[in-house]
Structure 1
């Protein structure tokens, strides 16, 4: 299982600093969308949502809806005494803005100084994000939100511990690192398996990427060119996707260190490819951080670019202090590597050849050449998948292997740093063991249940565990994952477009910031920003009817020229005029060919216009009636954008501070070298 007591301090620093960046991107994204999405005049107002919960008997219940927003009126009453101007605005909306500002501030403080890289700061960040998530409704229904909550919860327990002036890896940090590795396995393994259990024909015929680059929610400029690749190459990428997600996940629990590294590199390559070809906000960056748990410090320090290491601040000075001066030479002899450089190279070469052979065997065994270059079939069936990958021994063996690694590492670090016997040390050790066991059981329950709901039952029938999982569900510390179960856009990409008019005769199309609209609209790089309204419209376009509350609210507020709705629009052709009429159409979009784009300059073709909502007027009784049936409040008053959004130049402040942090760390590292 590798050398005893392999250091993971570098991983701790990389993970904790990386999580600060993820939180920063997440809170920034939410800050700029609160007014339009969740504010008093938003599409799904928080105050309306909490009012419905109270009417249903759920009032300030942290066990079902864990959020500090319950107490927004009481909290804002104290804050408004110091800042009276905030009293003009809705207390719920203001508190959401303040939560984001605190989240941004704490994230920057962690990046600025390692002193803030502690238990309390990360616990606060996790709870602040949970507070927004719990009231975010439809706009927070994505897997990356629950993954951030699960990873964020684990982050609380992997913060570094100092003893005698030296940073050490204590038992709870060791257990948490293994839980993050287990999270990496669950996410990737499940994402590979559910594509097959969903029975989606595009995954089974290896043609999923014939549609993915075109039909994904928010394509970027590189997506267009990947769509133009030859069919056989895209099929090969799909086969590689299965080999990587399933095979790479299993390799990270190999008893051989090199194979664990190869497995981690396979999973990282998958994430970098997705980052390159899609706009998935902070999700893939978060997955990269979790995947790094498969590596030890020796590997990370050798392969991580120096400029990234320099961003960790005074990391080197924190770990360079020896435990005891007199034992330095002894430790050096003790851990002296017995292998010569030639033997090391030969070992690496042998491992590499074995790994390449395993990959080639996997391709030839399960994805024959006929399936790649012709219309052949894969060499396995749904029954094989269920027998081997779900109901068989493979996932159970992976769970057992993960727990064995966890126990092995826990006792290694315990012997290395906590050999003394005291009540405090034994209590912490007991807590680490108990915490690890509970988390493994909770996450395993959701993991196995999510692989195949039709054919799988959890191997351990423990009523207490089921109750514990049910009570912990609102906090999302143990989740089920499975990405792109079914490929969309097989019959073309469907998109909703909005046309507005002043006179009801001449209609012009609105342009949103990120989603496809006019055919000459260029594709954009969006990540790590998360435009939640544009994302949600992608789901709504695939539905046969427009009957979602947020979309009806958007129509109502847009036709009443409300600033909250207009802030979601990039280009309004009636700017300066009143929007009195509007209609919604659905088109089928497809990429142009390279030749067509060279001639026209257009990225998209669109056809088959279908009117979904026809000629909505400002006073539309049916629209208002539907909103009232959905318990949405009707208010035609035009509220201004919140003062915090207007007066706080958050992006400028963040960029300035990040540049200053980089300069500070660069100067510190240069000073240390001198």
Structure 2
């Protein structure tokens, strides 16, 4: 079947696969370094407790067969090793079936982690990585030209990511329609980056230009992905530029980088490097790809209907394997930033003059003089959930109490998630949490105080608590 492959996309496939393997590497590394405190046997939301209630049919995972922290670590580090090998091009050095097996194992390992990750893995980029990683299984290697059907399915993913985000903005917060959302977003986003202060302080007309450009890129440009070249390549290039702008303005885990990888798969690089002569794909491979494409088409019904719905859901999976999902981001934008500040004391009986010392977080704002750091594409899961907790205590109901208990116990795995432990010699006797209003300082305040943030006490989030 001459239509089945397109050799002009051999370099697009190579770039996409290397980038995807790099994202997988970051995702598995994040899991390996953080799981013990979050979902380990002694974690805040232990996997063994979850597995007693979860059905293997609803949450397919290797860990239904066996769980221990040592086994989870082995899965995570094995994923790191395999992802690194694929990023280095190992899949192109083996037969086609072996390359497909490598990508399938990588996808199955990460699916196993996500499906037991509970609250800590409830982010849209987890499903995006799984959906994209599943399609990568069938993209082939240098033993065959890229299959056209898989290339189109990757564009369908990219379309839903961008168009879904654009629709949920227009349908959601009024500030997206009057182009004022970005007057607040750079300050109130979950985890600002080192340039976020400067983005926030741009003139307001530029914020309006930002918002308008966002609507163009997310509502109009995605349609052009399905047009002939070079228009599709130009559309993908605009998406890459927009995502790089987001990379500069904040920390959004690997969402932007994975979107860039998807966009690059739609770019025709044949003018840059002439495609080599690639062999005809085997018949079994053609049959498998056609069957997968048919399955994706059937599973696309609910996500497509979701795009057209007035009650559009954001970042939702419709099947336990996360094969075809709904995406979206920032359907509403906060006007005010709240932060939960966690403090401890070693005094036996807190009183009005008690000295409380703050715990420092790696990514989320705490110290007002500390310029936000760049962590993305690495994902600081605790810091992100602290942002949600500040929005509403309901987001923290399942894990915040266990988090405080581990601070009182001086748990080493939990303390490794933090930037600063104010009690290095012995754990505190009491821990409390208070809610503050944070805002970026003005140019004048920054020059006068050296502080990037100004904060005002709002109320108690958790009254002083000790271990029984």
TM-score w.r.t. the length of structure 2 is 0.91
Change (3 A) 1:174 1:5: closer
1:367-422 per-residue CA deviation (whole Å, 9 max, x = no partner) reads xxxxxxxxxxxxxxxxxxxxxxxxxxxxxxxxxxxxxxxxxxxxxxxxxx47xxxx
Is residue 96 of structure 1 aligned with residue 72 of structure 2? yes
Structure 1 residues 506 and 185: alpha-carbon distance in aligned structure 2, compared to 1, 3 A threshold:
same
Q: Distance in 1 between matches of 2:391 and 2:290?
A: 47
Alignment of 1:133-172 (within 5 A): 133-160=114-141, 162=143, 167-169=144-146
Does the C-alpha gap of structure 1 residues 8 and 202 become closer, same or farther in structure 2, counting only changes over 3 Å? same
Residues 1:148 and 1:211: Cα distance change in structure 2 (over 3 Å) = same
**1:483 maps onto 2:460 in alignment:** no
Q: Distance in 2 between matches of 1:67 and 1:575?
A: 38
Matched, 1:523 2:380: no
Q: CA deviation at 1:508?
A: 1.2
Name the residue aligned to 1:289.
261
The answer to whether the 8 A contact 2:237-2:267 is kept is no
Identify if the C-alpha distance between structure 1 residues 232 and 160 changes in structure 2 by more than 3 Å, giving closer, same or farther: same
Displacement after TM superposition at 1:265 (Å)? 1.7
SS in 2 for 1:549: coil
Match of 1:194 in 2: 168
1:121 matched residue in structure 2? 102
Q: CA shift at 1:260, angstroms?
A: 1.8
Alignment of 1:130-529 (within 5 A): 130-160=111-141, 162=143, 167-169=144-146, 173-198=147-172, 200-255=173-228, 257-299=229-271, 301=272, 320=276, 417=280, 425=283, 428-454=285-311, 473-488=319-334, 490=335, 492-503=336-347, 504=350, 505-529=354-378
SS at the partner of 1:97?
Answer: helix
Superposition CA RMSD, Å: 2.3
Task: Check 1:240–1:547 CA distance in 2 against 1; reply closer, same or farther (3 A cut).
Answer: closer
For each residue in 1:429-464, what CA deviation from the matched residue of structure 2 results, as whole angstroms up to 9, or x when unmatched?
4443332232123124213224435489xxxxxxxx
Partner of 1:29: 30
- Give 4+ residue runs of structure 1 displaced > 6 Å after superposition: none
Q: Mind listing any 5+ residue stretches in structure 1 that lack a counterpart? A: 73-90, 303-315, 324-416, 419-423, 457-468, 620-674
Higher mean alpha-carbon deviation, 120-129 vs 152-161, is at 152-161
Three-state SS of the structure 1 residue aligned to 2:339 is strand
Q: Secondary structure of 1:590's match?
A: strand
* Shift of residue 546, structure 1, vs aligned partner: 7.5
Give the conservation status (yes or no) of the 8 Å contact 1:519–1:605.
Answer: yes
| Offset, 1:547 | 5.4
Cα deviation for residue 613 of structure 1 reads 1.2
- Greater share of residues in helix: 1
Runs of 5+ consecutive residues of structure 2 not aligned to the other structure: none
Q: Is the 1:519–1:604 Cα contact (8 Å) retained in structure 2?
A: yes
Larger radius of gyration: 1
3-state SS of 1:224 partner: helix
Corresponding position of 2:403 = 554
Distance 1:560 1:603, change over 3 A: same
Find the aligned partners of 1:134 and 1:593 in 2 and give their Cα distance: 44
With over 3 angstroms needed to count, the CA separation of the structure-2 counterparts of 1:191 and 1:451, relative to structure 1, is: farther
Are 1:597 and 2:446 matched, yes or no?
Answer: yes
Cα distance in 1 between the residues matched to 2:164 and 2:308: 6
Distance 1:275 1:610, change over 3 A: same
Say which SS state the counterpart of residue 244 (structure 1) adopts.
helix
Aligned residue runs from structure 1 range 578-597, under 5 A: 578-597=427-446
Q: With the length of structure 1 as denominator, give the TM-score of the two structures.
A: 0.64
Asked if 2 retains the 8 angstrom alpha-carbon contact of 1:38 and 1:93, the reply is no
Aligned-partner Cα distance in 1 for 2:132–2:121: 16
What's the counterpart of residue 351 of structure 1? none
Verify the 8 A CA contact 1:496 1:541 in the aligned structure 2.
yes
Q: Which residue of 2 aligns with 1:19?
A: 20
Q: 1:545 to 1:294 in 2, by over 3 A?
A: closer
- Following the alignment from structure 2 to structure 1, what is the Cα–Cα distance between the partners of residues 28 and 395? 30
Cα drift, residue 157 of structure 1 = 0.3
Asked if structure 2 preserves the Cα contact closer than 8 Å seen for 1:252 and 1:260, the reply is: yes
